[in-house]
Structure 1
Amino acid sequence: MSKPIDFSKVFPIYNLEHGCIVSMQGDLTVVFKVDHADIFTLGSAEYEAAHHTWVKALKTLPFDTVVHKQDTFIRTRHQANVDGSQTFLTLAGEKAFDGRVFLEHTCYLMITKKPDGRRAATSGYSGLMRKSIAPRQTTIPSLFADFMEKVGGFERILSDSGLVSLRQLSDDELAGTTGKTGIIESYCSLIPAGERPLLRDVHLKEEIRIGENYCQLFSLADVEDLPSLCGSRVNYDKYSTDKSKFSLGFAAHLGLLLDCNHQYNQYFFIGDPQKTIKGLEAKKLRLHSLSAYSRENAVSRDAVNDFLNEAVAEGRLPIKAHFNVMAWTSDRAELQEIRNKVSSAMASMDAVAKQETDGAAQIWWAGIPGNAADFPLNDTFDTFVEQASCFLNMESNAKSDGKGIRFGDRNSGRPVYIDLFDQPMDSGLVTNRNLFICGGSGAGKSMACNHMLRTLYDQGTHCVTIDIGGSYKGLCELVGGYYFTYTEENPIKFNPFYLAPGDSLDIEKKESLKTLLLALWKRDGDHFSRSEYVAVSGAITMYYEHLAKKPAVFPGFNSFYDFLMLEYTQVMENGKVKEKDFDLSNLLYVLNPYYKGGEFDYLLNATQNLDLLNERFIVFELDNIRSHEVLFPVVTIIIMEMFISKMRKLKGQRKILTIDEAWIAIAKTGMSHFIKYLYKTVRKFNGIAALITQEVDDLISSPIIKETVINLSDTKILLDMRKFINKFDGLQQTLGLSEKAKTLLLSVNKANEKGKTYREVFIDQGGQKLSVYRNELSAAEYLAYTTEESEKLRVMEYAEKYGSMEKGITVLAEELRRKKAPSP
């Protein structure tokens, strides 16, 4: 057996000084952690801008510099955040995604300055081939200062683009501590940086084996294996349509789209361009002299000549470059599958993967952070910085805000939490918290809205929903809220006259009642006089004084009507109120249908679900009365006045009014002015107005939507709109969508992951942050939110059978899970 090499004797890193890695050969390396834009969120213009930024930044670096970008993707399982304070559905959602596999992405950018006179490394002359290395002292303070100045300019150019953010690593992050691995140890042991250290053997003789992991290395190092064309972006056919072309980074297939443990290394070797051109001129002359003997030499001569012409004519910077993918697995049987995945990924770029065997050890060795200058130059190719920059990975995983609504990363389904309200307001991304939600029938609007409302409710928000269709009944019963609906057996009932214990008649309550009574009395556009307004106001005040004296009297419309007939009549008779100023008999006659024995005596005399102000979850289901000429306008007025009362009285508390499909009927009853008022003022009271629709034609033609709701909704949640693709131009203009937004929206649900049931949502925040997420729910959440009649009936059946909604949903969800589970 060959004797193992003592790693410490050949290890190429000498020390860490001033935040730099110093190699044994005197190379200085500065390391940055890089944060990229989320995958599937960039448009073609942004890819072009990012490419231009990288080119500009690379050109600022001095000669004899090596730029090494190292993107590492490790298969990781999501760990659920479970604690005892979570509600039933929150806990079910967390548990459902526990263990979800995704690729954890980390990226480090290493900039290395080689000392003057450093010998170029090759596969035969590498630090790995030595028995020991003696440190070489070459660093001069003035050279270090000049290098750091150039690195600072490089960092500033990238950071100012807004598409990439860089943070320089500290010494502890580079070398690690006793309890956490640094990036150097992370690379050598294939352990994510920041985790506890673990010593692992490194085997490099016949193959690369690190601990229990078998590694395969595939390179792009020969011009003949590279794609004939490259660019800043490519069309991603899975998400493209006839009307839109979805953009993806040119090298994205070697990043998050390559589903295995792997590392994508990108090297740029910036030398003296004059020396490079001089060497190529010599090569061209040599090939020219040999061209008479071989056509291949003539072709190579012409290629070199074209390269030189472009370098001089276009002023391009010639560099050497190398790209490789190192993939690994702990199961040797999976190596063939890994080879297939990597070769397929490179083929998608029109490149040919070369599996490195003899030279793999030297390439891996040069990948140690701080050792890029030891990369074998015989494994590089000549190119320009513009072309080489196309091979940079530009994307990362979707970022989580840490709090907010739980959605899923579009690529993997990993849970991410998106703050739609507070963080965007604080950062200036939006100027209001209003929502506009739109999607075709069956696109998943109700599921998304139920999920949003349940999350807001768990966070302490007062949620009021006006619905047509019964989409929120399950959630309302689960959280124990008030659910108002109309049936012949149990008609809809309110009691706007009720005051909770401890409350007193204040201005808000009084104004609410005045508005209601005057609307009931003066309908169809009739106007009330000032004297009538004052008289009604006085009657309300006197009524509550009457209740204070007679606590046995239950507040409600019946007792108010009795007060008007018996007590207030005496006020009229005493002459305090003139009949010419206030026609009491007409008021009593008009309001008689709402008094006991009248046609609508149930409407304003409820004895249950009375405290609407302090109830945090209320649903008004108006499907059965939306065409009723009397009930619908009255109910609408009660709802609006109740929410205004919440807005003004519940100071410091978040509240949301969601109007789901009912806005058309509300607008027809003359309440469009309330929608306008709501959207303009709710922001000032820590409130949210949310409107939901699926009627695209109404959306385009309605002035209320176009002029008020859309203009005053900085956050738009749009679902699958592909069925409207042929009328999308008008929709795009109405919604004010950019071409990038159009492309993202039309990609929704176009290539969902097989085996998973979910709908995607497009979220536009202030026209600046555009993203598509999965709205993937646990079985319990789905059953609580479902709008399918058969499923709702089954949920109610199980709830009755097992004593509660929670128990019923738990049992039913487990039955569904067993049905879906594969047979043993």
Structure 2
Amino acid sequence: MLLIAVIIGMGISICAFGTGGKRAKVFEDIYFSVEDVNDMGIIYTKGGDYTAILKIRNPIRKYSASKASYYDFISLFSSILQLLGEGYALHKQDVFVRKQFDMNSIAAKGKSSISKRFLSDSYFRFFHGRSYVAHETFLMITRKGKKGTIHSYDPAKWKDFLVKIQKVHDRLKVSNVECSFLKAEECKRYADRFFAMDFKNATVSMSDFKVTSEEIGMGKHHIKAYSLLDVDQVGLPGMLRPYSESQVGNSILSEDLLSSIDSLPEVDTLVYNQVIFLPNQKREIMKLDKKKNRHASIPNPNNQIAVEDIEKVQSEIVRNGKMLVYAHYNMVVKISGDKDFQKITNSLENLFARHSIHISKRAYNQLELFVGSFPGNCFRLNKEYDRFLTLSEPALCLMYKEHQQQGDSSPLKCYYTDRQGLPLPIDITGKEGKVKYTNNSNFFVLGPSGSGKSFFMNSVMRQYYEQDTDVVIVDTGDSYEGICNYFGGSYISYSKEKPISMNPFKISELEYKENFGEKKNFLKSLIFQLFKGTDYPSKIEDTVINQTITEYYEAYFHPFDNFSKDERRQMKEILLLEDKKNGKYDQYEKELEDRYEQLSEEKDMTSRNSRLVNKLQAVVEDTAATEGEKQAALHQLQRLTPELVEKNYLQRIERKIDKIERQKRSLKVSELSFNTYYEFALVRIPQLIVQQKIEFAIHDFAAILKPFYKGGERSHILNNDLDATLFDEKFIVFEIDKVKDDPILFPIIVLIIMDVFTQKMRIKKGRKCLVIEEAWKAIATPVMASYIKYLYKTARKHWAMVGVVTQEIQDITSSPIVKEAIINNSDVFMLLDQSKFKDKFSEIQSTLALTDNDCQKIFTINGLDNKEGRSPFMEVFIKRGLKGDVFGVEEPPECYMVYTTEKQEKEALKLYMQLLHSDYRTAVETFVRDWKLSGITKSLDFSRKVLKERKVFNYKHP
């Protein structure tokens, strides 16, 4: 009885699962060989099919929100299907693999100091080991072999295959799709990896292989093939678009129909197989006709609907040249052996139900689906129940079209995360990377209060400085105190006891020779800021101040002695022309006419007078004649000839030039400062008023500028030399919060700080960056517009960038200065959470020239369901040129403590540094270690504990 029971059990097992011999051979019966042909790997199956494999990058960036790009994808692949034609199959595999992120390969290496690397190393350690989903895409082009056997060879079809696969490659390249053919060895490795469902380990190995009707076991893992559509009930919606729309906060986000398959729960590996078979079009159309006639022969509502549907399909084929194709889709999912597939099945059903698509409930042919999904083996998929007939466009809609955001290849790498939390190197300048997005790297940052502007800018400045950038920041709120202390930079805070003072008038002779035009424009802006405030200067005022600055520096670098002969001649001509123009010359001539009545009557000179004129002229020119004789002869000549009137008038001009020469010689400049310029201007401007007969409010000028002159209330501001060490300092913060409400002093200080940066920019080598926080509003005046524009335009010529940071929407919508001088000269925009501005964002959109696509991305900031497994973070939209994306600003606790603007956290950190008698870096390191070991979640709570107990806890690791 025992023997009979065993035999019966074996019989049942063989009936249910087979002997195993047939299944063991199923993998041996797939491939015949793999070889390189024309530098391309070609896979031959034992069924006579041959395949080339292209590794491609899907053309649409995930979260790009571009509807047009999805339709472009359909157009591109429709053209590829048209190119291939009958007998071909297009098999696309998207492979998603969960991996652990390894930052060691990109972590900062040992060129910089340990102190300088501390925050970067903390950042890399923070992300090391983070789980993420890697994605690769392979496109297989398979030609059906003749009569289904490798022994049948058709040279015409083979040649056609080689030509067409090259054309597919070229068409992808033309459409900017990254692609390359796998070589033979790569094809073998890829087939082995698919067989083992292992796309992440360096060495691929196979474990126990067990097949049931529901799944396939592979050692410690098991896999399941989901056939997405049931041929008996395809379940496609009446209308299918190549994208879906999701509600994210107050915005609609356009994304792929299957965008969520990269985030299915508990999945180790997922391969999405998308196969399109290209049949004989005439034969399929004839089949449709027969089917339509069959339905029409039985008049009932269901058959009538079927007839109408077929007629619509036929109309599309005839009118728009659409193709009939057979399609198949499945997902091969691998998970750990201790988990089951129910959660994944539910997720897939929910995913497709959103698009009115129902996945197959009867995918019992697990081994058949798995084998048919092998690279190059797609024609093994069963014609009866694994393929369904449709038009090419709906079939392509179900293809996966996206790729994850990619980092930049650039010497300047600032790390921010993509939207799944994966750190990426980003070239924020937009112009230093392999791909150039911009012409200049000036930037504009907009974010309402509480959106994290300061935190984000701290991150940017840290990474710039660590990559050898000179940083100058103008701040009004201690936002950069921590990072300046960490880097050991210069933190200059304005106070009455120690005000910020400089000497913007002092320049070197080299600077005078090479950059005086730039310096003069700055000084004009400075003087008019003092003199006119927010009012425009008149043309006369601009001309006079321009002349005084020019003559002031000329007097210092080239002290005046006298005019040269050429200068005197030119001045004579100019002054004579000016007097003829203003009537003075005519008046003088009239006086001579009245004095010598005969002058007007002697129109025709007699020969006697002519001889007399010659004699008198000889006396005037005779060097031996006395001065009295010459004067008498000259008076007689004036009686006899009108031409001599002008010569006599030139003598008067000579005396005027002599006077100007004496005045100019008396204008001496012993040293360069506002004091000496003020003295120079008060002497020179009245002279110009008299000489040029112009109007200038010299008394107003003198009174308004007097407080900055020696003895005045603010004489120290513009007359003290700047600390020379600042020129070599690489990280400088000017904190001017205490004077932000002073309408006179605030803009002056901001302006002279900008001049400090300008000197750095022109002279120092390497990359430079100036950041103006809310202080920029102090200089956004009509008077300053030209200088700001000049600074922005000049920066890019000196490997420099200027950034403005603001939080108020009115700042950019109400000021023409902002738009014309700042925004129009910025190629990089950085916007934080704008949800507060949504109702009036159209103004910002217009001012910043943002596209509707940009706005769609901006309003998804902080709105995605991407928080799981991540520490608190915020997102920012960065647009470089025409390219804009949303990135995550996620930093480790060490960086957080350096960036924080929370007063209690800053005080607690300062207390740690005081009690430890340590430098800033050591205090941060110890504080963060104690915070982590304390078990307190929030740093603010731990800071309060530190301030309350006033001690260093020095917790030990358990």
Output the TM-score relative to the length of structure 2.
0.73
Q: Is this contact kept in 2: 1:216–1:355, CA < 8 A?
A: no
Residues 1:656 and 1:531: Cα distance change in structure 2 (over 3 Å): closer
Please report how far the alpha carbon of residue 670 of structure 1 lies from its aligned counterpart in structure 2 after TM superposition.
3.5
Most deviating of 79-88 and 700-709? 79-88
**Secondary structure at 1:117's aligned position in 2?**
helix
Q: Is this contact kept in 1: 2:245–2:253, CA < 8 A?
A: yes
The Cα offsets for residues 349-384 of structure 1, whole Å up to 9 and x where unpaired, read as: 322233555311111001111111212222111111
Q: Separation in 1 of the partners of 2:803 and 2:872?
A: 26
Q: Is this contact kept in 1: 2:53–2:139, CA < 8 A?
A: yes
Please report how far the alpha carbon of residue 220 of structure 1 lies from its aligned counterpart in structure 2 after TM superposition.
1.8
Match for residue 198 of structure 1? Answer: 205
Alignment of 1:748-763 (within 5 A): 748-751=861-864, 753-754=866-867, 756-763=871-878
Quick one: which of 165, 169, 176 aligns to 1:155? Answer: 169
Please report how far the alpha carbon of residue 504 of structure 1 lies from its aligned counterpart in structure 2 after TM superposition.
8.4
Q: Separation in 2 of the partners of 1:610 and 1:596?
A: 22
Most deviating of 745-754 and 769-778? 745-754
1:368 maps to 2:391: no
The Cα offsets for residues 546-604 of structure 1, whole Å up to 9 and x where unpaired, read as: xxxxxxxxxxx999789979xx99x9xxxxx999799xxx9999999679986446646
**Secondary structure at 1:679's aligned position in 2?**
helix
Quick one: which of 701, 716, 720 aligns to 2:814? Answer: 701
Q: Is this contact kept in 2: 1:251–1:390, CA < 8 A?
A: no
1:227 maps to 2:236: yes
Match for residue 12 of structure 1? Answer: 31
The Cα offsets for residues 386-412 of structure 1, whole Å up to 9 and x where unpaired, read as: 110100101111101144454444431
The Cα offsets for residues 107-128 of structure 1, whole Å up to 9 and x where unpaired, read as: 100010002333xxxxxxxxxx
The Cα offsets for residues 162-184 of structure 1, whole Å up to 9 and x where unpaired, read as: 3x332221222212xxxxxx211
Match for residue 476 of structure 1? Answer: 484
Please report how far the alpha carbon of residue 285 of structure 1 lies from its aligned counterpart in structure 2 after TM superposition.
5.1
Q: Which amino acid aligns with 2:877?
A: F
Q: Is this contact kept in 1: 2:438–2:880, CA < 8 A?
A: yes
Please report how far the alpha carbon of residue 196 of structure 1 lies from its aligned counterpart in structure 2 after TM superposition.
2.8
Match for residue 66 of structure 2? Answer: 43
Match for residue 546 of structure 1? Answer: none
Match for residue 774 of structure 2? Answer: 661
Q: Separation in 2 of the partners of 1:707 and 1:517?
A: 21
Q: Is this contact kept in 1: 2:349–2:359, CA < 8 A?
A: yes
Q: Separation in 1 of the partners of 2:744 and 2:782?
A: 10
Residues 1:458 and 1:535: Cα distance change in structure 2 (over 3 Å): same
Q: Which amino acid aligns with 1:770?
A: G
Q: Which amino acid aligns with 1:222?
A: D
Quick one: which of 550, 553, 578 aligns to 1:537? Answer: 553
Q: Any stretches of 5+ residues in structure 1 without a counterpart?
A: 119-134, 176-181, 544-556, 572-576
**Secondary structure at 2:725's aligned position in 1?**
coil
**Secondary structure at 2:119's aligned position in 1?**
helix
Match for residue 719 of structure 1? Answer: 832
Q: Separation in 2 of the partners of 1:345 and 1:692?
A: 41
Q: Separation in 2 of the partners of 1:457 and 1:464?
A: 10
Residues 1:683 and 1:259: Cα distance change in structure 2 (over 3 Å): farther
Quick one: which of 62, 75, 87 aligns to 1:52? Answer: 75
Q: Separation in 2 of the partners of 1:795 and 1:229?
A: 63
Q: Separation in 2 of the partners of 1:788 and 1:558?
A: 50
Q: Is this contact kept in 1: 2:77–2:396, CA < 8 A?
A: yes
Please report how far the alpha carbon of residue 231 of structure 1 lies from its aligned counterpart in structure 2 after TM superposition.
3.2
Please report how far the alpha carbon of residue 219 of structure 1 lies from its aligned counterpart in structure 2 after TM superposition.
1.1
More helix by share: 2
Residues 1:430 and 1:98: Cα distance change in structure 2 (over 3 Å): same
Q: Separation in 1 of the partners of 2:845 and 2:547?
A: 50
Q: Which amino acid aligns with 1:12?
A: Y
Quick one: which of 160, 184, 187 aligns to 1:174? Answer: 187
Q: Separation in 1 of the partners of 2:721 and 2:388?
A: 83
1:239 maps to 2:352: no
The Cα offsets for residues 149-208 of structure 1, whole Å up to 9 and x where unpaired, read as: 22233333333333x332221222212xxxxxx211110112227833334443335531
Match for residue 77 of structure 1? Answer: 100
The Cα offsets for residues 186-243 of structure 1, whole Å up to 9 and x where unpaired, read as: 10112227833334443335531234221111112325243314533444434263xx
Q: Is this contact kept in 2: 1:73–1:256, CA < 8 A?
A: no
Quick one: which of 94, 107, 112 aligns to 2:124? Answer: 94
Q: Any stretches of 5+ residues in structure 2 without a counterpart?
A: 1-9, 11-18, 560-668, 690-699, 939-957
Quick one: which of 788, 811, 821 aligns to 2:926? Answer: 811
Q: Which amino acid aligns with 1:449?
A: M
Q: Separation in 1 of the partners of 2:743 and 2:308?
A: 85
Residues 1:425 and 1:189: Cα distance change in structure 2 (over 3 Å): closer
Alignment of 1:534-613 (within 5 A): 536-537=552-553, 599-600=713-714, 603=717, 609-613=723-727
1:674 maps to 2:784: no
**Secondary structure at 2:465's aligned position in 1?**
helix
Q: Which amino acid aligns with 1:481?
A: G
Alignment of 1:320-331 (within 5 A): 320-331=326-337
Residues 1:533 and 1:269: Cα distance change in structure 2 (over 3 Å): closer
Match for residue 23 of structure 1? Answer: 45
Number of residue pairs aligned between Structure 1 and Structure 2? 774
Q: Which amino acid aligns with 1:628?
A: D
Most deviating of 454-463 and 49-58? 49-58
Q: Is this contact kept in 1: 2:97–2:200, CA < 8 A?
A: no
**Secondary structure at 1:67's aligned position in 2?**
strand
Most deviating of 801-810 and 676-685? 801-810
Q: Which amino acid aligns with 2:478?
A: G
**Secondary structure at 2:448's aligned position in 1?**
coil
1:267 maps to 2:267: no
Q: Which amino acid aligns with 1:168?
A: F
The Cα offsets for residues 44-90 of structure 1, whole Å up to 9 and x where unpaired, read as: 12212222222222122121111110001011111113344461211
Residues 1:233 and 1:306: Cα distance change in structure 2 (over 3 Å): closer
The Cα offsets for residues 88-109 of structure 1, whole Å up to 9 and x where unpaired, read as: 2111111111111111001100
Q: Which amino acid aligns with 1:343?
A: E
Q: Separation in 1 of the partners of 2:910 and 2:671?
A: 37
Most deviating of 778-787 and 340-349? 340-349
Match for residue 843 of structure 2? Answer: 730
Alignment of 1:136-535 (within 5 A): 136-162=150-176, 164-175=177-188, 182-192=189-199, 195-205=202-212, 207-223=215-231, 224-239=233-248, 241=250, 244-255=251-262, 260=267, 261-284=269-292, 307-308=313-314, 310-312=316-318, 314-354=320-360, 357-377=363-383, 378-403=385-410, 404-421=412-429, 423=431, 427-494=435-502, 507=513, 519=526, 523-524=531-532, 532-533=548-549
Q: Is this contact kept in 1: 2:45–2:376, CA < 8 A?
A: yes
Residues 1:672 and 1:470: Cα distance change in structure 2 (over 3 Å): farther
Please report how far the alpha carbon of residue 457 of structure 1 lies from its aligned counterpart in structure 2 after TM superposition.
0.9
Q: Separation in 2 of the partners of 1:93 and 1:426?
A: 25
Please report how far the alpha carbon of residue 507 of structure 1 lies from its aligned counterpart in structure 2 after TM superposition.
4.6
Most deviating of 488-497 and 221-230? 488-497
Identity over aligned pairs, percent:
28
Q: Separation in 2 of the partners of 1:477 and 1:777?
A: 19
Please report how far the alpha carbon of residue 505 of structure 1 lies from its aligned counterpart in structure 2 after TM superposition.
7.7
Please report how far the alpha carbon of residue 752 of structure 1 lies from its aligned counterpart in structure 2 after TM superposition.
5.2
Output the TM-score relative to the length of structure 1.
0.84
Match for residue 583 of structure 2? Answer: none
Q: Is this contact kept in 2: 1:424–1:430, CA < 8 A?
A: no
Please report how far the alpha carbon of residue 721 of structure 1 lies from its aligned counterpart in structure 2 after TM superposition.
1.2
RMSD: 4.0
